[in-house]
């Protein structure tokens, strides 16, 4: 089986879509203009998506209060230092910046809505790039 998408109930889906497209290179695959404002965003490979929406009958998790290791979106980054600076300039906030013994560089940020984002430059890449 292949992973299609991971879904997140968020506070401001339309604003989040705009930010993820502008700053993380995501592409809108499908989007609803009315509640629950569901949007499917694909990564640059077009093979993995996230779904974001606001579904009022269900609680939006308190992403800002959650430890980033509970839930985060991890993105491959060729230059975590430059991407960190660029995303902070766009409204993200820094949580941690770690260099691991295996040569990996992992940067944990929070997007403007508090959802944790990780920038990963692995010492040995774990995914095949297309």
pLDDT tens for each residue of 22-35: 999 999 999 999 99
Residue-wise pLDDT tens digits, 58-110: 789 999 999 999 999 999 999 999 999 999 999 999 999 999 999 999 999 99
Distance of CA 34 to the CA centre of its chain: 23
State what percent of residues in the chain have pLDDT above 70.
Answer: 98
> pTM for the whole thing?
0.92
Residue 99 tokens read as 């260099």
Q: Which domains does the chain have, with CATH numbers?
A: 1-58 (3.10.180.10), 61-125 (3.10.180.10)
Q: How far is CA 125 from the centre of its chain?
A: 19
**Token pair recorded at residue 76:** 């491959």
- Can you tell me the distance from the alpha carbon of 114 to that of 99, in angstroms, rounded to the nearest whole number? 23
Structure tokens at 103: 């040569």
- Please give the pLDDT value at position 11: 94
Q: Round to whole Å and give the CA distance between 84 and 77.
A: 10
Q: What is the DSSP letter of 36?
A: T
Q: Is the pLDDT of residue 127 over 90?
A: no
């Amino acid at each position: 089986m292949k992973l299609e998408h991971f879904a997140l109930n968020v506070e401001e889906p339309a604003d989040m879509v705009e930010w993820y497209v502008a700053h993380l290179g995501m592409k809108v695959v499908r989007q609803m203009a009315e509640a629950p404002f569901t949007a499917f965003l694909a990564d640059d490979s077009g093979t993995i998506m996230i779904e974001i929406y606001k579904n009022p009958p269900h609680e939006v998790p308190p992403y800002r209060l959650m430890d980033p290791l509970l839930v985060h979106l991890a993105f491959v980054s060729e230059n975590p230092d430059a991407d960190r600076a660029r995303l902070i300039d766009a409204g993200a906030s820094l949580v941690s910046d770690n260099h691991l013994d295996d040569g990996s560089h992992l940067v944990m940020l929070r997007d403007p809505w508090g959802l944790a984002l990780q920038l990963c430059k692995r010492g040995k890449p774990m995914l095949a790039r297309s």
